[in-house]
Structure 1
Amino acid sequence: MAGIVQFENVGLRYGTGSETLSDLSFSLAVGGFYFLTGPSGAGKTSLLKMLYLAQRPSRGAIRLFGEDVVLAQRARLPGFRRRIGVVFQDFRLIPHLSAFDNVALPLRVAGVDERDLVTPVREMLAWVGLADRATARPATLSGGEQQRVAIARAVIGRPEILVADEPTGNVDPEMAARLLHLFDALNTLGTTIVVATHDIHLLSRVAKAEMLRIEKGRLVDPTGALRYPPRPDFSRDGVRP
């Protein structure tokens, strides 16, 4: 497999306006660790949505696990999504479920026996510092606690790809370091990690991590130059490339 994720000339347009993202072409290696950076409004969250199949591109090809997911039948998409863990910026916890049951949800969906999920869920809650909050519902948790439940839920099933949108935004520096250590440990087991962040200080904490930077809807290298130049526009002359 050339890469567990491949974007080829991907563009995204909402409505009839200009493209939010343009000419994205990149490949993520199996077992790689990537930080996605860029200013607010650059398109980081939109890119992540396409990566975890919540948004279809307007053009271009996206391949996950070696398969074209843009052309895949809709019935196949849930199978791809089950291989991807997501930490949403707005958490998306199920309000009527306890912290334990929110974290256990991916295992139950995967058919894990109730007797076999108790220990790993409790261990995961302990790892994120919420062992004593297992029975609490989201409304009674602080923003930082909700974030940690969301992270525990995303990683409990050891996904092949983990996508995290600002996962350390609502926790203190000590917990942020602990969560990064959790991501690093998961990465060591083979999971490809993609973390969108505004905090450039996180980059120095994972030595093996690579950086993807977006500015004005395009990938750039750290110096600010276009990483992938736009394709020539032949449409005015009616000439096909």
Structure 2
Amino acid sequence: MSTHESDIVQFDNVGLRYGTEREVLSNISFTLFSGRFYFLTGESGAGKTSLLKLLYLAQRPSRGAIRMFGRDVITLPRDKLPAYRRRMGVVFQDFRLVDHLSAFDNIALPLRVSGVREADLRGPVEDMLEWVGLANRADARPATLSGGEQQRVAIARAVIGRPEVLVADEPTGNVDPDMALKLMRLFEALNRLGTTVVVATHDLQLLRKVPDSLIMRLSKGSLLDPTGALKYPPRRSGGGGS
């Protein structure tokens, strides 16, 4: 991997309010570098989900500047947003699976949207089903899956296209500890391939599972010590084991 890592996301004094209420995010400034692994933590109500919505372009800020992939996305025309969103994978808290599609077809959806031929997508989808422990549930519809199984389908769908940025909102909230660790290893593997990963979690145990990660801490809509917590450190030298 190249030793040069460019910035892929920049927030500059971003604020967000819904309607006329007070800001839920205030003066948010940070830079995400390509190929790095970030955790976003904070108490319930700190603003984690709102910040993620800004990251995956589901919400425009009330003020401030956001640049992604070298472009000011706040002024980006709405018809250009889908192309940017396709460069990202998103794991939502509420999964957002397509009810009438099987687990296989939900996972295959990003590849089909991007034009991958049916003959070329079967192998990757089957491999992903195997990885998340759902090889025997490929034909199951979401309504017949448990919450943890739906979560794993949603994660597989988000990562199958090897997005440039992966945004995950509490991705291990509905799975047991063993599966949570396996999913974090999947995120790490994707990260080693060059994807920038942002995982929002209240589970502080997860932070110790990825020792080379950077931590963003939100409290009452503000980043705590953004210059210190998000200082850009060099990666550790030496051969990284898996």
Are residue 129 (structure 1) and residue 133 (structure 2) matched? yes
The answer on 1:193 being equivalent to 2:201 is no
Aligned counterpart, 2:158 = 154
Residue 95 (1) aligns with residue 99 (2):
yes
Give the alignment partner of residue 213 of structure 1, picking from 212, 217, 224: 217
Question: Is contact 1:35–1:203 with CA below 8 Å preserved after alignment?
Answer: yes
SS in 2 for 1:162: strand
Any residues of structure 2 matched to 1:44-83 within 5 Å, and which?
44-83=48-87
Deviation at 1:227, TM superposition (A): 7.2
Length-normalised TM-score, structure 2: 0.91
Q: Which has the larger radius of gyration?
A: 1
Equivalent residue for 1:86?
90
SS class of match (1:9): strand
Query: Residue in 2 aligned with 1:203?
Result: 207
Deviations 1:135-175 (A, max 9, x none): 00000000000000000000000000000000000000000
Distance in structure 2 (CA, Å) of the matches to 1:212 and 1:34: 7
* 1:5 match: secondary structure: strand
Deviation (angstroms), 1:74: 1.1
2:107 is matched by which residue type in structure 1? V
Equivalent residue for 2:20?
Answer: 16
Amino acid at match of 1:16: T
- Please state whether the residue corresponding to 1:205 is helix, strand or coil: coil
User: How many residues are aligned here?
Assistant: 226
Tell me the amino acid that sits aligned with residue 95 of structure 1.
D
Asked if the contact 2:56/2:88 (under 8 Å) is kept, the reply is yes
Deviation at 1:75, TM superposition (A): 1.2
1:17, 1:78 → 2: CA distance? 29
Asked if structure 2 preserves the Cα contact closer than 8 Å seen for 1:218 and 1:226, the reply is: no
Given that residues 165 and 195 in structure 2 are in contact (C-alpha distance below 8 angstroms), is that contact kept between their aligned partners in structure 1?
Answer: yes
Partner-residue secondary structure (3-state), 2:158: helix
CA shift at 1:116, angstroms? 0.2
Give structure 1 regions of 4+ aligned residues with deviation exceeding 6 angstroms: 225-228
Structure-1 separation of matches of 2:134 and 2:101: 15
- Aligned partner of 2:170 in structure 1 is 166
TM-superposition CA deviations, 1:81-122 (whole Å, max 9, x none): 000000000000000000000000000000000000000000
Residue equivalent to 1:237: none
1:221: how far off? Answer: 3.3
**SS of residue paired to 2:208:** helix
- The separation in 2 between residues aligned to 1:101 and 1:9, in whole angstroms, is 40
C-alpha offsets along residues 37-70 of structure 1, whole Å, 9 cap, x if unaligned? 0000000000000000000000011111110000
Report if the CA contact (8 A) 1:164-1:194 is conserved.
yes
Q: Deviations over 1:183-236 (max 9, x none)?
A: 0000000000000000001001001100000000000039xx9979xxxxxxxx
Any unmatched runs of 5+ in structure 2?
Answer: 231-242
CA separation in 2, counterparts of 1:108 and 1:227?
39
Distance 2:13 2:6 in 1: 16
* TM-score using structure 1 length: 0.91
User: Secondary structure of 1:208's partner?
Assistant: coil
Gaps of 5+ in 1: 229-241
Q: Secondary structure at the match of 1:211?
A: strand
